[in-house]
Amino acid sequence: MLEVEVLGVGAPAGRSAAATEPRTVIDLPLEEVRRLSARAAASAGVSDGHVAIEFVDERRISELNARYRGRAEPTDVLSFPVDGTAPVQARRELGDVIICAEHTADVREAIVHGMLHLLEMDHETDGGEMLERQRELLARERP
């Protein structure tokens, strides 16, 4: 089973949202955050592991973007996969997804987008496969 730890907005400081269920994050039920994450992981053959999804403010995402991407500006989502030589399907720790809701039009899309990056997909270098998978995954979620 994929364990999704949700941190940040919607949870008391220093505690994960999972410790205070039922809660919502950015008007999104925690169960939906978990379902979106699990569905994205499953699309790459990953059904077990751990991922942390953290919601941060504009200041924090700007700091991270400057430090790790050399861009001193806010962005919507950053992903930090756990380095390793094992195939992503065999990793227990997948990594962290950091989301700034202030800079995303759709938090659900940011969750899926960040997860796909953890699964070694990259829309900047592939032939459109990542964004197509993202569209397909989100289309399954729409009523």
Domain span holding position 104: 2-141
Query: 3-state SS string over 100-116?
Result: CHHHCCCHHHHHHHHHH
Number of structural domains found in the chain: 1
How many residues can be counted in the chain?
Answer: 143
* pTM for the model: 0.84
Q: What is the CATH number of the domain that holds 114?
A: 3.40.390.30
Which of 52, 51, 61, 124 has the alpha carbon at shortest distance from 88? 51
pLDDT of the chain, 143 residues: tens digit per residue: 899 999 985 543 444 444 444 445 677 888 999 999 999 999 999 999 999 999 999 999 999 999 999 999 999 999 999 866 677 777 789 999 999 999 999 999 999 999 999 998 888 788 889 899 999 999 987 65
